[in-house]
């Protein structure tokens, strides 16, 4: 890796393990194998580095979700695809996920605003699928916004507990979560088709790793 890539990898690892405020410049320099003086050449401020990690992670997730759902007009299929992709992506990048989920509050208001806007844009893909499913009569749920937040939290939690050494393969977890999401939304339609192989291809391309 280049020095800049080593700094970013070090930041993701340390911010996930110790938190933004618990990670010092000396910690970052040691992990990246650079001097503290030269570190700023590759990162700007520590907040700049955190904001860049969040922007990159959220844009990657948003691009992947748009690509995975672009060909489907069926809200059930889109929702199940979003669930499967979210599970695969969060298993592929668990440390980055913890940083994005846990450290937004560490950003200043000016740096936080565009990060929250990206997160909201991604969540609107889920909201649109749910709202269209309700309008079509295939989803029956009393509190769609709360249910959407619960589903996102459930899927994101994979980053905290999933291990390839566990009893379920990742594909099985993604399938199971898609079914749980359908049930939570009171789905009255047959299970929507979602292409796990396609989701895996997208995650491999965007995250640079196979799942």
Domain 1-44 in this protein, CATH class: mainly alpha
Q: What local confidence, expressed as pLDDT, does residue 195 receive?
A: 75
Average of per-residue pLDDT across 179-186: 94
For 51-207, CATH number?
A: 1.10.357.10
Residue-range domain boundaries for the chain: 1-44, 51-207
Average of per-residue pLDDT across 134-160: 95
pLDDT-derived band of residue 57, with 50, 70 and 90 as boundaries?
very high
pTM: 0.90
**Contact status, residue 79 vs residue 130, Cβ threshold 8 Å:** yes
Of 21-30, 125-134, 182-191, which gets the smallest average pLDDT? 182-191
The C-alpha atoms of residue 116 and residue 37 are separated, in whole angstroms, by: 32
Q: What local confidence, expressed as pLDDT, does residue 39 receive?
A: 81
pLDDT-derived band of residue 211, with 50, 70 and 90 as boundaries?
low
Report the chain's terminal Cα–Cα distance, integer Å: 22
Is residue 100 predicted with pLDDT exceeding 90? Answer: yes
Is residue 79 predicted with pLDDT exceeding 80? Answer: yes
CA triple 130-131-137, angle to 5 deg: 90
The C-alpha atoms of residue 50 and residue 12 are separated, in whole angstroms, by: 8
Q: The dihedral of CA 33, 38, 44, 47: what is its sign? A: positive
DSSP one-letter code for 60:
H
The C-alpha atoms of residue 39 and residue 37 are separated, in whole angstroms, by: 6
Q: What local confidence, expressed as pLDDT, does residue 47 receive?
A: 93
**Contact status, residue 48 vs residue 25, Cβ threshold 8 Å:** no
């Amino acid at each position: 890796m280049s020095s800049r890539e080593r700094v970013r990898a070090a930041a993701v690892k340390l911010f996930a393990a110790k938190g933004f405020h618990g990670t010092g410049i000396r910690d970052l320099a040691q992990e990246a194998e650079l001097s503290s003086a030269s570190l700023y050449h590759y990162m700007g401020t520590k907040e700049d580095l955190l904001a860049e990690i969040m922007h990159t992670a959220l844009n990657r997730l948003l691009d992947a979700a748009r690509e995975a759902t672009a060909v489907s007009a069926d809200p059930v299929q889109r929702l199940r695809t979003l669930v499967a992709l979210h599970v695969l992506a969060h298993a592929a990048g668990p440390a980055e996920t913890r940083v994005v989920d846990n450290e937004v509050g560490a950003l200043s208001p000016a740096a936080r605003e565009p990060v929250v806007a990206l997160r909201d844009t991604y969540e609107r893909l889920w909201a649109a699928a749910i709202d269209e499913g309700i309008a079509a009569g295939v989803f029956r749920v009393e509190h769609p916004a709360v249910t959407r937040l619960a589903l996102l939290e459930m899927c994101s939690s994979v980053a905290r507990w999933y291990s390839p050494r566990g009893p379920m393969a990742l594909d099985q977890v993604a399938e199971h979560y898609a079914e749980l999401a359908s049930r939570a939304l009171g789905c009255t339609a047959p299970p929507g088709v979602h292409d796990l192989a396609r989701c895996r291809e997208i995650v491999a391309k965007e995250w640079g790793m196979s799942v």
